[in-house]
Structure 1
């Protein structure tokens, strides 16, 4: 027995060391990335760069057009994917009957979450541009395409958050006379909201960093004027970084690193917002 306990303790120590090593290795890669980007791009972060648009001259190029395009694209994505994803999660988890059709829908949603993002770009090109003739290279088409990609993530995270609500909450609401709809929207959904919001913002952060789907719908075009609406031609931050990294002029190296810093700050802000919303709306029972 003493030998078995010693082996168990040794296995636990090895597991802790492996986990600590994985954390240290991940933080090391992140530190190296931040060091290289800050070294190459920190000198280019000034007001002219943050408030300017794309240009053929590296000294005159700025990132504001891409930032505005990313904001408009993410706005369209959020307004489409969040309500539809949450309503789909509520229906599948609370109201859908258990049959083969619903099982097929659930499997399809799980498979869609693992589909490569460039497939959604091809779908957006075929449906939104070639079929519905929506304006090419616009935040509207980009948001529609990214909404298709983000919605399965929201549905899966929403279902998990709703499933985590104890059945006693539902039983108590039904016992005092609430209907099934009132039980879901007045009791279950508020308790599941932190998990839903966290999953939504993480999905949005993934969509913010996507390049392949937007490449297929033409958002790699040179746009010197920031978009004034969701139907105007625009670029986004990942695509702007891609375009600058492909330039021959060495002056764009600093612009590329500076744009990566802006994108990382955008992503960190979104993840920080997810943590804040989770802590703000979290309810303990």
Structure 2
């Protein structure tokens, strides 16, 4: 047996097999590099196209004015403020409920068929089309609860329903990544279950939770369909003063301007897309900063 094994190592068959493995690894790296390059090319194409069409429309007046019937006087401040208020309402509702739900399901809930059903339901809710949440918001918040139409309050509640499953899933994955030795060590020195969860597990899982939350908020910021269903497509010339005042949001404003007959609104639409992209890039940059700031290695 030893002579046969030696012959397999000395003849050319093993060298060919090793060469094939290295060739497969090189092909995989090239495919991965090509995928990254293709993604960056699409992003660069989008940014360059929007900059060429909308850079001339970016001005202080454009950023400080609200919507208007004439393209020369139209701006994004009303829609931008509406987006900010809507995202604040979404964050205030979805983040605490989503994090507490993830903590309960991962740390306190018993493992039985009911928790399995809840987990499956949460995963299914994360995949539901956004327009379904718009119909839900229309039926519950407007027709049943009679909340003000086109208000950031209703928009934030609707987007919170859509974002909450994403936060729960991201929170559970972040909590699972905390080593069990952290829990065992805290319990070994006399800490209670609540102290283990809130003093040790939650701080260590916070970077992943914040990253998933902000990515979910960025997705909610770009949503249009659910907000159209609750009436946030109305023409509103004054910025909202609070979460109960009628307002629009940036994606809906872009949708309305893109449907205008006046060709002057093409530049306004591209400029508004640039503002929305910058806003989303800032939110993703904030997610990366928070992840690096609160991340702890063990």
Q: Which runs of 5+ in 2 are unaligned?
A: 1-13
CA distance in 1, matches of 2:284, 2:58: 22
CA distance in 1, matches of 2:133, 2:17: 53
Alignment partner for residue 139 of structure 2, among 126, 129, 132?
Answer: 126
Residue 294 of structure 2 corresponds to 281
Residue 262 of structure 1 corresponds to 275
Residue 103 of structure 2 corresponds to 90
CA distance in 1, matches of 2:276, 2:185: 46
Residue 37 of structure 1 corresponds to 50
Residue 183 of structure 2 corresponds to 170
Question: Matches of residues 74-223 of structure 1 in structure 2 within 5 Å?
Answer: 74-223=87-236
Give the TM-score normalised by the residue count of structure 2.
0.95
Residue 56 of structure 1 corresponds to 69
* CA deviation after TM superposition for structure 1 residue 279, in Å: 0.5
CA distance in 1, matches of 2:216, 2:203: 20
CA distance in 2, matches of 1:137, 1:122: 14
* CA deviation after TM superposition for structure 1 residue 4, in Å: 1.1
CA distance in 2, matches of 1:207, 1:280: 24
Tell me the secondary structure at the aligned position of residue 229 of structure 1: coil
- In the TM superposition, what whole-angstrom CA distance separates every residue of 1:187-221 from its partner, at most 9, and x where no partner exists? 00000000000000000000000000001001011
Residue 257 of structure 2 corresponds to 244
CA distance in 2, matches of 1:280, 1:19: 29
CA distance in 2, matches of 1:30, 1:268: 12
CA distance in 2, matches of 1:114, 1:134: 27
Runs (4+) off by over 6 Å: none
Give the TM-score normalised by the residue count of structure 1.
0.99
Alignment partner for residue 30 of structure 2, among 8, 11, 17?
Answer: 17
* CA deviation after TM superposition for structure 1 residue 90, in Å: 0.1
CA distance in 1, matches of 2:42, 2:200: 43
CA distance in 2, matches of 1:25, 1:101: 43
Tell me the secondary structure at the aligned position of residue 155 of structure 1: helix
CA distance in 2, matches of 1:31, 1:193: 32
Residue 8 of structure 1 corresponds to 21
* CA deviation after TM superposition for structure 1 residue 3, in Å: 1.2
CA distance in 1, matches of 2:15, 2:118: 52
CA distance in 2, matches of 1:174, 1:26: 46
- In the TM superposition, what whole-angstrom CA distance separates every residue of 1:235-279 from its partner, at most 9, and x where no partner exists? 000000000000000000000000000000000000000001001
Q: Which runs of 5+ in 1 are unaligned?
A: none
CA distance in 2, matches of 1:163, 1:31: 36
* CA deviation after TM superposition for structure 1 residue 108, in Å: 0.1
- In the TM superposition, what whole-angstrom CA distance separates every residue of 1:47-92 from its partner, at most 9, and x where no partner exists? 0000000000000000000000000000000000000000000000
CA distance in 2, matches of 1:181, 1:29: 47
